[in-house]
Amino acid sequence: MNKKSKFYRKDPRTFSERAKSFGQSLLFWKGRDKGRIHTRDLEWDDLRYIFFPSKLERYGYLGITFYKEDSEYYKAIYPLVLAMDYEAKPYWCPRWFLRFLHVFGNDKSIVRVRNRRLSNLHRKLTKGIQFWDWKTKWYHYDLRISITAPKHLQNLASDIEHGFYKRGQKQEEE
């Protein structure tokens, strides 16, 4: 480690605090706290999510979160999620294992990393395909989708956005 680098930062914690944090990392269910990086504590609900997901959680390993099954956004985005699942999931790998890697590797988040090796394995198995965000802007029909995927999936997301906007705009004019 280069201590002369401008990016070097000495860990201000005492040895006992660092040892405690390391010990907690060995207990996989306990979250860690290091500076600005916090991982969450795992709960029994996470095991339910891995092995017995609800219909809305089935594709959670891609980073997608649905709130209601009967919403117009769910109906618009669901075909894209199915296409992403088809591309991302290896045929020999069960979804529960990908959800396991999502919880224990990525801390059930699109930005946090709980375990670097498991996170890298998750990214390698899913070929880096990930759902970053979906939201509405300006109007309820102005849907924005952010994904990391091959070009044909990016085109599908763009077509869904464009079609959703055109249908919403047409309904508003009527």
User: Binning pLDDT at 50, 70 and 90, where does residue 26 land?
Assistant: low
One-letter amino acid of 102 = H
Buried-exposed string 56-86: b where 16+ CB fall within 10 A, e elsewhere: ebbbbbbbbebeeeeeebeebbeebbebbbe
The vertex-165 CA angle with 72 and 54, nearest 5°, equals 25
- DSSP 8-state secondary structure symbol assigned to residue 148: E
Q: Residue 167 is inside which H or E element, if any? A: helix 151-173
Least confident stretch, 33-37, 98-102, 136-140, 160-164: 33-37
Q: How high is the pLDDT of residue 25? A: 63
Q: Which 3 state secondary structure label does DSSP give 129?
A: coil
**Span 35-52, pLDDT tens digits:** 666 677 777 888 899 999
Mean pLDDT for the chain? 84
User: First and final CA of the chain: distance in angstroms?
Assistant: 65
**Span 69-87, pLDDT tens digits:** 888 888 889 999 999 999 9
- Cα–Cα distance for residue pair 9/14, rounded to 1 Å: 14
- Cα–Cα distance for residue pair 167/28, rounded to 1 Å: 47
The vertex-72 CA angle with 68 and 77, nearest 5°, equals 85
- Cα–Cα distance for residue pair 3/6, rounded to 1 Å: 8
Q: How high is the pLDDT of residue 167? A: 79
- DSSP 8-state secondary structure symbol assigned to residue 134: E
